[in-house]
Amino acid sequence: MHQADLTPDTPLPSDDDPDPSQPEQPGVRDRLSVSAEHELGRTHADWVHQHLITLLQLLDQPLESLSVVFVGDEAMAQLHGKYLDDPTTTDVMTFDLRETEEGPIDGELVICVDEATREADSCGHGVERELLLYAVHGLLHLLGYDDHDPEQAQIMHTEEDRLLRAIGVGAVYAPDP
């Protein structure tokens, strides 16, 4: 399994916004798109987009293209049924578009805003953080992480928290003190 990790000594920003002093890698912005077919998704698309740019720069992985689309329950349930034979909604679906595992990141993440809203309400944090968590989760799948058993899920959650801290958002699974 290929896992791209930041080093443990990667400095962690302290505010909620991406660090404007960090130079943006050429092409990251052009190769990342965040769009919304859901009204609430449109509200948070720019915030998620900016944080994903910062994350992709920190990961320093070759990037062909990454598309993030925010949808509602109905659209997600249709996709989930079509591709995974489960007609219920889910949080995020990851589509790896690479022809080989060794190629640069090339994928699409479909994220359910309605599911993010329910989960954010239940966890007591903002919807934008939940949407970003789902995007990080999908990106980790594209980098080779899996969460089909409890041990792998814990590894993935730990990495999600570490990355969210690294871009200044803070952990979700093991909240910061």
Over residues 126-135, the mean pLDDT reads 96
The domain spans of the chain are 28-166
Per-residue pLDDT at 77 exceeds 50: yes
- Residue 169, CA distances (Å) to 12, 33, 90, 159 in order: 10, 20, 23, 14
Q: Say how far apart CA 28 and CA 36 lie, in whole Å.
A: 19
pLDDT tens per residue, range 87-100: 999 999 999 999 88
In this predicted structure, what is the pLDDT of residue 12? Answer: 36
Our measurement of the distance from residue 104's CA atom to the centroid of its chain's CA atoms, rounded to an integer in Å, reads: 17
Residue 146's φ and ψ, nearest 5 degrees, are -140, 155
At a CB cut-off of 8 Å and minimum separation 6, what does 51 contact? 18, 132, 167, 169
At a CB cut-off of 8 Å and minimum separation 6, what does 135 contact? 48, 52, 68, 92, 109, 111
Task: List the one residue out of 123, 151, 166 whose CA is nearest residue 1.
Answer: 151
For residue 56, count other CB atoms closer than 10 A to its CB: 21
Report the topology of domain 28-166: Collagenase (Catalytic Domain) (3.40.390)
In this predicted structure, what is the pLDDT of residue 91? Answer: 96
Q: 137 among the known binding-site residues?
A: yes
Q: 141 among the known binding-site residues?
A: yes
pTM of the model: 0.83
Q: Which structure tokens are listed for 68?
A: 């993030």
Torsion of CA 85, 119, 132, 102, to 10 degrees: -30
pLDDT tens per residue, range 133-148: 999 999 999 999 999 9
Q: Which structure tokens are listed for 62?
A: 């070759």
Q: Say how far apart CA 174 and CA 56 lie, in whole Å.
A: 22
